Chains A and B, each alone.
Chain A
Amino acid sequence: MTLDRFDRFHGLLLLLVAGGLVLLLAVAESGGGRSAAGVDKAMEQALDYQARVAFVQKLYGPVEDLRRDGQLQQALLKLDELERRYPGEAHGYILRGEILGEMGVLAEAVASYVAALRLNGDYVDARSPLSRQTEIRQLVDDGLRILGGQARSHPENLSLAAAVKNVHYLQSRLAGGCE
């Protein structure tokens, strides 16, 4: 059997990869210490974030395009499509909350943000690349002013009370409260 240049190149590449793996294993075995493990974990987290950001940007790109074109109703319908495929994905609820907020449907916007935060707390974390802390803070201000004002004028109204409770939930999450 003869080896051409292409085969030899691949053989060399395989040897290099195998060597790299052996070296990595050796470093891990030698117990690079807690700091190495910490670095690995941080890197893993950073990679996770990068992958997640890329995923949601790709997945929800068509929704963002429709929003930019002012096609808010169609953006909501597109979100429904995606929600049927990815029912546990919090980002869809965040986008729905933003769109409903743009349409002036405040109580439903707040409810959508609440649903998102119950699924994923990253959105109130200022360090997260997907953070919506500023937007949520604005929503809480609007909610307290508008829904809170209505609830004070109509203390017997159970639906307004429930909407204000949702606003308070967002407020507590912003303040660092957990689930």
Chain B
Amino acid sequence: MLLNSFRSPFSAIRLSLLLAAVTALFLLAGCDNEPQGPVLKIGYMNCNNEQETMQRFAPLTRYLSEQAGVRFEAVPVDTQDFEGRFKAGEFALTHTNSLLYIVLQHNADLRLVAADKRGHFGARSAGTLIARKDSGIKTLEDIRGKRLVFGPAMAPTGYLAQYDLMLNAGIDPETDLAYYAIPSGSFKHEKVLYGLYFGAFDVAAAPALDLELMAADGKINVDDFVVLAQSPVIPYCTFGSSADLDPAILAKVRKALLGLKPQDTVEIDGERVKVLQSAWVEGFEELLDSDYDIIRDMARRTNMPPYQTF
């Protein structure tokens, strides 16, 4: 019967057309995997510049879109603009440092999603105060009357932790140092290290993670400096979500972040790239909001947002 039907030229044409249509349908289904629906924005805290931020996080954003079945868009945001733009409802998700997370959580009901893992302490890092080994500065007490350089003012491990360290040791940075400065422009953490290395400052407030990364890159030598003091370890960069994000989407995003493996890739501009490597992250960890209490206590002691009083 079947063989007989093939003998008819019209049946053969019909069958060929049907096969072609089915093949085209499969091909189209394979190509068109872009999620449908409204675009949800992810605000990424700008570290050095917008171009770098987009390069880092475009692949991660694409990955989250694919995994959650939602159209996400990456938006670089300057630190000082974050709160206003988040309160205005611009972002469904945020990626910020941990101090900004507690500010947005306190002032705008941001919800915790997951924290970046990178370096020795996983989803945490620490602030250090360092001096050149040949400076003669050996202890924290020795920094009185010296020139100190901080990282950016809203940096948890480049400013907040070190300011708190000094206050805890009975050193008031406002009165007990010769002076302190905060570098301007991009790459502030690296400028801090180079400012110390080339003698513009006696003491530097360096994130432990940056010491680790710059030593790994051969930019600094471990034997050239001494760590005068180190803060407790505190949570690192953090993904948060707005309170009105659909819980089902939030669950998919969290699951996707926690499940990310070093070998996972996405296609960006015709090129297949590794998501974690592009984002400079080793993975993501699910912290508890109470893990951030240590930063809240630091912010209270140092009169920093969200607890700042005048």
Contacts and interface: CB of A to CB of B under 8 A. Distances in A.
Interface of A: 71-74, 76-78, 80-81, 84, 96, 100, 103-105, 107-108, 111, 150, 154, 157-160
B286 A77 contact: no
Interface of B: 120-124, 126, 128, 208, 211-212, 215-216, 222, 226-227, 230, 232-233, 258, 285-288
A157 B254 CA distance: 11
Contact of A73 (B123, B124, B128, B216): B128
A100 B120 contact: yes
A76 B125 CA distance: 13
A104 B285 contact: no
A84 B230 contact: no
Given A72-B230, A96-B120, A159 B208 contact: no
A6 B48 CA distance: 72
Given A81-B215, A150-B288, A105 B121 contact: yes
A107 B122 contact: yes
Nearest to A100: B120
Given A72-B230, A158-B258, 13 more contacts: A73-B230, A74-B226, A77-B211, A80-B212, A96-B120, A100-B120, A105-B233, A107-B122, A108-B120, A108-B122, A158-B286, A159-B123, A159-B258
A45 to B, nearest CB: 34
B122 A73 contact: no
Contact of A77 (B212, B258, B285): B212
A100 B288 CA distance: 20
The listed residue with most B CB atoms (<10 A of its CB), out of A77, A104, A157, A158, is A77
A128 to B, nearest CB: 26
A70 B131 CA distance: 16
Contact of A104 (B211, B212, B232, B258): B232
